């Protein structure tokens, strides 16, 4: 190669070297953009890369009865979680989970998809897997990247069906609930109280999840914990319920439909609140069989009759009629009304229950003792529908008692306007008379009915019926007691209430089959037998409070489609309830 050639060659290499240099400087320019201009951004992305927040459920608060008997608690269980980042082949790994748990693959995928969290955040896809499934999964876990079995807890109701309607149950949060509660830190698959106290006191029972900020490597393996906020367990709840009384109530209801309530009229504490038929809340946790579901649906087992069932109050309503008559001075406690076994109004015979017998001359005291229909027909008719409605309102029949449970219903107080718009018919005297004995259109819930008698017991003061006695801080063990609240005052004169109470006392004293005697305690009681529209099928009531002069307890027993033809047959049952109460809580001054 000659010199000129070499010179040319050198020139070419110089050109190439300059070109190379320019290209390398281009790389520097790009580096400047990435590192200096966008450096902060990428530093943030790098942080997100290595940091994961792991949160674990806090133990849910226990529910206990007033004497500390556990009604609901957490027991260990297993959950399956998925970390999407670690999944190698989601169809395969989730497929195994689906196969083992019996869940649908598509459902699992949807859950993962809808979780809306980063690829490193574990997502709970199946809760409360059985031990068998957990063991099988644990065996396969090493071959299932991204799938993890974690120790968790599930709700358990050790008393089984006892107080099921009071307790409610827990379940997976629903889509609509989630939307409403997202701001409160709920995420998909979270457990939330459904129905009963579990729902009512969700905010107390639910603790705060633990949060752990961890540093992970690219494989998702935790390298170290940077910050940790321990879980705060939920508060425990002490109910006003006394398991012993609750058991007795449920036993009395047996296999029937109905409700039984024991309440302390002095403060509204519900010592027993039973609805039948009942259900086992544990089945909601483990999964309900279709057989159970069919049975429950057919019998309305999930329906809480005590607070949401509305029934004709029948003769238990006569306290309202009596109050209305006395307060409007339509009658006095000395007014005498003759019962000839019934009376004819507007060409129609309104029978007294004793018909074809008769009660003869009745004053209000004897009328309560005999539960004389003729007497209360007459009082209602004379008082008039407007005043009757006024006092029905005063007793709160169409209002909520505000008992601390979800799903309470109100009763119903008919008015002429309502009848006109509903049936295009005028209101007749006969309608007023029917209402006077708690028949016709008027409806009450059992919780309202016992509240009415409680307010009579307390000379017009209704303490708000409630189940929450106290909540207990899990750490400090400090108890926050519920302060009883006056829900309403009747605004009815003492004289009137004294007269009504005297009448109710005579029911237990001289009321024939309705008589109840528990030691020498003065008991005020009232029965009620409501027609249901089906021949010889009745809804039967009996409600009482005692001791008359210093009431400590109100009890109510009610059967829908009763096994009894006459409510007076329930007197021995009510006797047992009162007897049991006074055995446990003592006589006059018996409190806790």
Residues that bind another protein (CB under 8 A): 1, 5-6, 8-10, 12-14, 16-17, 20-21, 23-28, 30-32, 34-36, 38-43, 45-47, 49-50, 85, 119, 215-219, 223-224
C-beta of 23 vs 298, nearer to another protein: 23
Question: From start to end of 134-231, where are the E strands?
Answer: 147-156, 169-172, 191-194, 210-216, 222-229
Question: Quick one: DSSP state of residue 355?
Answer: T
- What is the Cα Rg of the chain in Å? 35
Question: Quick one: DSSP state of residue 530?
Answer: E
SS3 233: coil
Least distance from another protein to the Cβ atom of residue 47, Å: 8
Cβ-based neighbours of 429, under 8 Å, separated by 6 or more = 345, 346, 381
Least distance from another protein to the Cβ atom of residue 130, Å: 33
C-beta of 151 vs 222, nearer to another protein: 222
Q: Is 185 left (phi over 0), alpha (psi -120 to 50) or beta?
A: left
Contacts 24+ apart (CB under 8 A), 534-538: 534/561, 536/565, 537/561, 537/562, 538/562, 538/564, 538/565, 538/566, 538/567
C-beta of 15 vs 138, nearer to another protein: 15
Of 379, 378, 361, 331, which is closest to residue 495 (Cα–Cα)? 331
Q: Which tokens belong to 6? A: 């070499």
What is the spatial distance between Cα 147 and Cα 99, in angstroms, rounded to a whole number? 14
Least distance from another protein to the Cβ atom of residue 309, Å: 56
C-beta of 18 vs 336, nearer to another protein: 18
C-beta of 121 vs 527, nearer to another protein: 121
8 A C-beta contact, residue 555 and residue 577: yes
Least distance from another protein to the Cβ atom of residue 54, Å: 16
Least distance from another protein to the Cβ atom of residue 140, Å: 24
SS3 494: helix
What is the spatial distance between Cα 446 and Cα 314, in angstroms, rounded to a whole number? 12
C-beta of 14 vs 151, nearer to another protein: 14
8 A C-beta contact, residue 307 and residue 403: yes
Least distance from another protein to the Cβ atom of residue 5, Å: 6
Element (H, E) at 592: none
C-beta of 40 vs 255, nearer to another protein: 40
Least distance from another protein to the Cβ atom of residue 216, Å: 7
- Sheet of strand 51-56: strand arrangement: 51-56, 210-216, 222-229
What is the spatial distance between Cα 296 and Cα 301, in angstroms, rounded to a whole number? 5
C-beta of 135 vs 223, nearer to another protein: 223
C-beta of 1 vs 132, nearer to another protein: 1
Least distance from another protein to the Cβ atom of residue 186, Å: 28
Least distance from another protein to the Cβ atom of residue 93, Å: 15
Cβ-based neighbours of 183, under 8 Å, separated by 6 or more = none
What is the spatial distance between Cα 80 and Cα 90, in angstroms, rounded to a whole number? 14
What is the spatial distance between Cα 56 and Cα 75, in angstroms, rounded to a whole number? 15
Least distance from another protein to the Cβ atom of residue 21, Å: 5
C-beta of 41 vs 338, nearer to another protein: 41
Least distance from another protein to the Cβ atom of residue 19, Å: 9
Least distance from another protein to the Cβ atom of residue 29, Å: 10
C-beta of 8 vs 104, nearer to another protein: 8
Least distance from another protein to the Cβ atom of residue 50, Å: 5
Start-to-end CA span in the chain (Å): 117
Of 379, 302, 372, which is closest to residue 339 (Cα–Cα)? 372
C-beta of 2 vs 175, nearer to another protein: 2
C-beta of 29 vs 535, nearer to another protein: 29
The single residue listed with the structure tokens 């002490």 is 238
Least distance from another protein to the Cβ atom of residue 24, Å: 5
8 A C-beta contact, residue 57 and residue 152: yes
C-beta of 215 vs 473, nearer to another protein: 215
What is the spatial distance between Cα 555 and Cα 525, in angstroms, rounded to a whole number? 9
Q: Is 519 left (phi over 0), alpha (psi -120 to 50) or beta?
A: left
């Amino acid at each position: 190669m000659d010199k000129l050639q070499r010179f040319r060659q050198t020139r070419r290499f110089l050109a190439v070297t300059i070109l190379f240099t320019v290209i390398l400087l281009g790389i520097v320019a790009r580096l400047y953009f990435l590192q200096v201009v966008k450096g902060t951004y990428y530093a943030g992305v790098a942080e997100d890369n290595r940091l994961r927040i792991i949160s674990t459920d806090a133990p849910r608060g226990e529910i206990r009865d007033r004497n500390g008997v556990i009604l609901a608690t957490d027991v260990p269980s297993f959950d399956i979680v998925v970390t999407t980042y670690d999944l190698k082949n989601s169809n395969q790994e989730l497929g195994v989970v689906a196969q083992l748990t019996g869940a649908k693959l598509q459902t699992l995928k949807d859950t993962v998809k809808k979780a809306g969290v980063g690829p490193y955040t574990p997502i709970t896809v199946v809760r409360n897997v059985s031990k068998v499934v957990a063991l099988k999964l644990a065996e396969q876990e090493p071959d299932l990247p991204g799938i993890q079995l974690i120790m968790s807890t599930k709700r358990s109701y050790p008393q089984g069906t006892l107080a099921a309607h009071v307790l409610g149950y827990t379940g997976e949060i629903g889509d609509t609930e989630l939307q409403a509660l997202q701001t409160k830190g709920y995420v998909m698959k979270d457990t939330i109280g459904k129905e009963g106290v579990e729902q009512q006191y969700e905010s107390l029972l639910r603790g705060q999840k633990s949060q752990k900020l961890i540093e992970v490597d690219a494989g998702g393996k935790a390298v170290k914990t940077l910050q940790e906020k321990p879980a705060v367990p939920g508060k425990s709840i002490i109910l006003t319920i006394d398991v012993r009384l609750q058991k007795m109530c449920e036993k009395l209801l047996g296999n029937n439909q109905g409700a039984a309530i024991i309440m302390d009229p002095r403060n509204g504490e519900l010592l027993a609140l039973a609805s039948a038929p009942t259900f086992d809340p544990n089945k909601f946790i483990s999964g309900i069989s279709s057989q159970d579901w069919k049975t429950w649906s057919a019998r309305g087992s999930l329906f809480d009759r005590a607070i949401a069932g509305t029934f004709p109050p029948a003769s238990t309503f006569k306290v309202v009629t009596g109050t209305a008559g006395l307060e409007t001075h339509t009658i006095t406690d000395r007014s005498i009304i003759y019962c000839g076994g019934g009376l004819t109004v507007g060409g129609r015979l309104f029978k007294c229950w004793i018909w074809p017998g008769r009660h003869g001359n009745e004053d209000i005291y004897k009328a309560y003792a005999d539960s004389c229909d003729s007497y209360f027909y007459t009082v209602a008719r004379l008082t008039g529908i407007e005043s009757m409605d006024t006092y029905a309102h005063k007793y709160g029949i169409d209002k909520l008692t505000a008992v601390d449970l979800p799903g309470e219903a109100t009763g119903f107080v008919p008015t002429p306007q309502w009848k006109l718009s509903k049936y295009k018919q005028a209101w007749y005297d006969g309608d007023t008379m029917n209402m006077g004995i708690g028949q016709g259109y008027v409806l009450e819930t059992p919780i309202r009915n016992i509240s009415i008698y409680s307010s009579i017991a307390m000379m017009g003061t209704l303490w708000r019926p409630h189940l929450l006695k106290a909540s207990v801080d899990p750490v400090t063990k400090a108890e926050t007691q519920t302060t009883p609240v006056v829900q309403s005052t009747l605004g009815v004169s003492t004289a009137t209430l004294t007269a009504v109470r005297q009448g109710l006392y005579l029911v237990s004293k001289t009321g024939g089959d309705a008589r109840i005697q528990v030691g020498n305690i003065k008991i005020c009681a009232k029965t009620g037998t409501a027609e249901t529209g089906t021949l010889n099928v009745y809804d039967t009531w009996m409600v009482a409070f005692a001791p008359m002069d210093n009431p400590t307890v109100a009890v109510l027993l009610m059967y829908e489609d009763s096994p009894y033809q006459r409510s007076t047959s329930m007197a021995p049952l009510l006797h047992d309830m009162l007897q049991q109460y006074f055995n446990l809580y003592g006589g006059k001054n018996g409190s806790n």
